[in-house]
Structure 1
Amino acid sequence: MLETLQPQPADKILALVQAYREDPRETKIDLGVGVYKDATGLTPVMRAVKAAEHKLWEEQDTKVYTGLAGDPAFADAMINLVLGDAVARDSVAAAATPGGTGAVRQAFELIQMARPDARIFVSDPTWPNHLSILKYLGMQVVPYRYFDNDSRGVDAQGMLDDLAQAKEGDVILLHGCCHNPTGANLSAPEWDAVIALLQKTGATPMIDIAYQGFGDGLEADAAATRKVAFSVPECLIAASCSKNFGIYRERTGLLMAVSADQSARGLNQGTLAYLNRQNFSFPPDHGARLVTMILTDPTLRADWQAELEEVRQTMLGLRTQLATELQQRAGSDRFGFLAQHRGMFSRLGTTPEMVEKLRADHAVYMVGDSRMNIAGLNAQTVPILAQAIVEVGI
């Protein structure tokens, strides 16, 4: 039977990781993998996470299953973090998932159950796994313009023109903050324009928010998601705890289904539980319990927020340093967009050939579409990268 299987496309980022490991050059720089690294190249366990794990180790007296949708306390804590008081709690159905990716997958399957013919409008570019999952599920994808390769900002008018083709029953996939892979984000007025379009077309928004706290701060990064949820009849939100809590391997995420009709919550909640049952039964709990402990303990939460702010400021500092180094070396402000982008990633907006030249000539590793992980830099490697970018002629 298994001899009929066909080879699947290799994951480009994982291939990049392997090539980086095999490169003997001491000056090599890894800007491919989407994880935060400190100045020493380590992805540390956050202080509040360590403290919560120690407390959990002392106090936890069972490893029995949680409910199909996970611990309700985790859902409550995350809904408060992401949505605040933008919508009534009893209008939100939620289910814990294996990471933000699990939340995205469950959201797509929920859409497929509700509207098998739904079209999913996806930004060009977007996180590759969005497209991979949608292709696997056989769902119809409609790309919409997003990144302006000339300005390295958002093509807001092109985006709105493309999204105007959506209709009721379609889904518009949006990045809540820190757009991956470009780092280019909508302004508040541009978000208002998107909301007005959603209200006009009747399309349903689905928001993927994986980097809350990495852009302009916890509250600021949630502002657009909250405004969307408040302004439309229903929406889906896939949230990840991997980055802002640094618990990548714990696979901790939450899918939320928000409905203005509070009577719909019961049906939505039951459906989310059903989908979990079909895919993995009970969701993982360790990471979810740590997040719940941190968000509901004032001392732990204060320490977590302080460290998260340190991480955010570090990335902003690296952005500013890189933009300044490039300005000095290139004698041009054309790289100023790097200081304006937010989150872990920026997209240089150059060709795969130039990206390959960076790797071959300077041991700089980034994804072929020129997405680079800003958090892969440190104060010492920023000048090396800047010189490499200038020397290859980007």
Structure 2
Amino acid sequence: MLTNLKDQPADKILALMAAYREDPRDNKIDLGVGVYKDATGKTPVMRAVKAAEKKIWEEQDSKSYTGLAGDPAYGDAMVDLVLGSAVARGNVAAVATPGGTGAIRQGLELIKMAAPGATVWLSAPTWPNHPSIVKYLGMPMAEYRYLNDDTPTVNFDGMMEDLQGAKAGDVVLLHGCCHNPTGANLTLAQWAEVIALLQERELTPFVDIAYQGFGDGLEDDAAAVRMVASEVPECIIAASCSKNFGIYRERTGILMAISQDDALQGRAQANLAFLNRQNYSFPPDHGARIVATILNDADLKADWMAELEEIRQGMLGLREALAAELKRLSNSDRFEFLAQHRGMFSRLGATPEQVEKLRADHGIYMVGDSRLNIAGLNAQTIPVLAKAIIDCGI
């Protein structure tokens, strides 16, 4: 049987990580992997996470299963964090998932069950796992323009024009904040226009929010998601705790299905639990328990929010410093978008050949589409990267 298996294409980011590890140069710079790093190049354990883990260790008296939906305290805390008061809790079905990726997968599974003929519309570009999972599930897929070719800014006219071609019942996957891989976000005024189009065309939004707190702050980053959830008849939301709690390896996510019809919440909740049962039965609990412990303890929550704000401000500072150094070296404003983008990522707009030149000549690693992880920089590497960008003709 195994002889019938086909070789799968290598994951480009994982291959990039391997190449970086094997590079013997001491001055190499890793801007490829999508993980937050501090100025020392480490992904730290947040203070509140350590305190929560200690509290759990001291108080937890069982490792028995949680429910199919996960710990209710985690579900309630995450619904409140993402949605605030935008939607009544009774209108939200929610299940814990193994990371944001698990939430995306379960959300697509739910769509396939409910509307097998629906086309899933993805931004061009988007996170590579989005189209990969859609394709694997055999679901119809289409793209809408998102980024301008000449300047790395949102191509809003192209986006709206393309979505006019979606049919009633189709699903539009949207990035709630800190768009990956571009860092270019819609304004709230543009979100309002998107919502009007969703309503007019009878389209269902599927919002992926993986970086809440990394852009403009916890509340501002959730503003668009809350607008969507409160104004459309139905929506699906996938959220991740990997980045804003720094618990990548704990695989902690949540999937929400929201309907303005109160009577549908129970049915949606039962179907989400059914999907969990089919895929992994009970979701992992440790990361979810860390998050619930933090969000339900006033002191821990305050400390977590303070450290998260330090991280956010640090990334903004790196963006501004890189844009300023590139302006100095190029004597132009063409890299100003780096300071305007939000989150961990931006795309330089470099060609694959220029990206390869950065790697070969300067030991600077980024994804082939020129996505760079801003959090992989520090005060010492910013001038090195800026000079290399100019030297490579970008």
Using structure 2 for the length normalisation, give the TM-score.
1.00
The aligned residue for residue 220 of structure 2 is: 220
SS of 1:153's partner is: coil
1:256 offset after TM fit, Å? Answer: 0.2
SS at match of 2:179: coil
Structure 2 unaligned spans of 5+: none
Specify the alignment match of 1:203 in structure 2.
203
Find out whether 1:335 has 2:338 as its counterpart: no
Q: Distance in 2 between matches of 1:333 and 1:147?
A: 18
Corresponding residue of 1:9? 9
- One-letter code aligned to 2:212: Q
Are residue 258 (structure 1) and residue 276 (structure 2) matched?
no
Find the aligned partners of 2:198 and 2:305 in 1 and give their Cα distance.
Answer: 33
Aligned twin of 1:128: 128
C-alpha separation between the residues in 1 aligned to 2:332 and 2:96? 47
> Alpha-carbon deviations, 1:164-207, whole Å to 9, x = none?
11122100000000000000000111111101101100100000
Partner of 2:168: 168
Aligned to 1:111: 111
By how many angstroms is 1:26 displaced? 1.3
| Structure 1 vs Structure 2 CA RMSD | 0.5
Quick one: distance in 2 between partners of 1:223 and 1:81? 11
Q: Distance in 2 between matches of 1:381 and 1:82?
A: 34
Give the Cα separation in 2 of the matches to 1:11 and 1:39.
27
Which residue does the alignment assign to 1:287? 287
- 1:129 and 1:24 map into 2 onto residues whose CA distance is 30
Tell me how far apart the structure 1 counterparts of residues 140 and 336 of structure 2 sit (CA, whole Å).
37
Question: Which amino acid counterpart does residue 144 of structure 2 have in structure 1?
Answer: Y
C-alpha distance in 1 between matches for 2:201 and 2:229: 16
Secondary structure in 2 matching 1:154: coil
**Distance (whole Å) between structure 2 residues aligned to residue 167 and residue 89 of structure 1:** 30
Tell me which amino acid in the other structure corresponds to 1:117: G
Query: Using the alignment, how far apart are the partners of 1:94 and 1:269 within structure 2?
Result: 7
**In structure 1, what is the Cα distance between the partners aligned to 2:227 and 2:349?**
30
Tell me, in whole angstroms, the C-alpha distance in 1 between the residues paired with 2:56 and 2:220. 31
1:67 partnered with 2:72: no
Q: Which residue of the partner structure matches residue 385 of structure 2?
A: 385
Greater shift, 201-210 or 144-153, is seen at 144-153
The alignment partner of 2:224 has SS state of helix
Distance 1:191 1:224 in 2: 7
Letter in 1 for 2:367: V
> In the alignment, which residue of structure 1 is the partner of 2:234?
234
Q: Deviations over 1:289-337 (max 9, x none)?
A: 0000100100000000000000000000000000000000011110000
Measured in 1, the distance between the counterparts of 2:23 and 2:298 equals 46
Taking the aligned partners of 1:149 and 1:245, their CA distance within structure 2 comes to 34
Q: Deviations over 1:74-94 (max 9, x none)?
A: 110000000000011100000
**Amino acid of the structure 1 residue aligned with 2:107:** A
1:347 alignment partner AA: R
Q: How many residues align?
A: 394
CA positional deviation for 1:149: 2.2
Structure 2 Cα separation of the partners of residues 315 and 214 of structure 1: 8
Structure 2 Cα separation of the partners of residues 126 and 183 of structure 1:
11
TM-score, normalised by the number of residues in structure 1: 1.00
Distance 2:188 2:237 in 1: 19
Between the aligned partners of 2:352 and 2:266, the Cα distance in structure 1 is: 49
SS of residue matched to 1:6: coil
- The 5 Å alignment of 1:317-328 reads 317-328=317-328
Structure 2 distance, partners of 1:190, 1:27, is: 42
**Superposition pairs of residues 279-318 of structure 1, within 5 angstroms:** 279-318=279-318
Answering whether residue 48 of structure 2 is matched by residue 53 of structure 1, we say: no
User: C-alpha distance in 2, partners of 1:337/1:102?
Assistant: 32
1:107-146 alpha-carbon deviations (Å, 9 max, x no partner): 0000000011110000000000001101100011110000
Q: Supply the AA of the counterpart residue of 1:12.
A: K
Helix, strand or coil: the match of 2:96?
A: strand
Question: Equivalents in 1 of 2:332, 2:27: separation in Å?
Answer: 26
Partners in 2 of 1:238 and 1:137 — Cα distance?
Answer: 17
Q: Secondary structure at the match of 1:147?
A: coil
Q: Residue 86 of structure 2 aligns with which residue?
A: 86
1:87 partner SS = coil
Cα drift, residue 344 of structure 1 = 0.3
**1:226-254: CA deviations, max 9, x gaps?**
00000100000000000000000000000
Cα distance, 1:150 vs structure 2: 1.2
SS, match of residue 63 in structure 2: coil
Letter in 2 for 1:167: K
Identity of aligned residues (%): 71
1:267 correspondence with 2:250: no
Distance in 1 between residues matched to 2:188 and 2:204, nearest whole Å? 20
CA deviation profile, 1:24-48 (whole Å, cap 9, x unmatched): 1111100000000000000000000
Between 1:184-193 and 1:99-108, the stretch displaced more is 184-193
Structure 1 residue 358, shift from structure 2 partner: 0.5
Runs of 4+ in 1 over 6 A off after TM superposition: none
Query: 2: distance between equivalents of 1:80 and 1:393?
Result: 47
User: Structure 1, residues 197-228: CA drift from partner, whole Å, max 9, x if none?
Assistant: 01100100000000000000000000000000
Q: Give matches, 1:11-26, under 5 Å.
A: 11-26=11-26
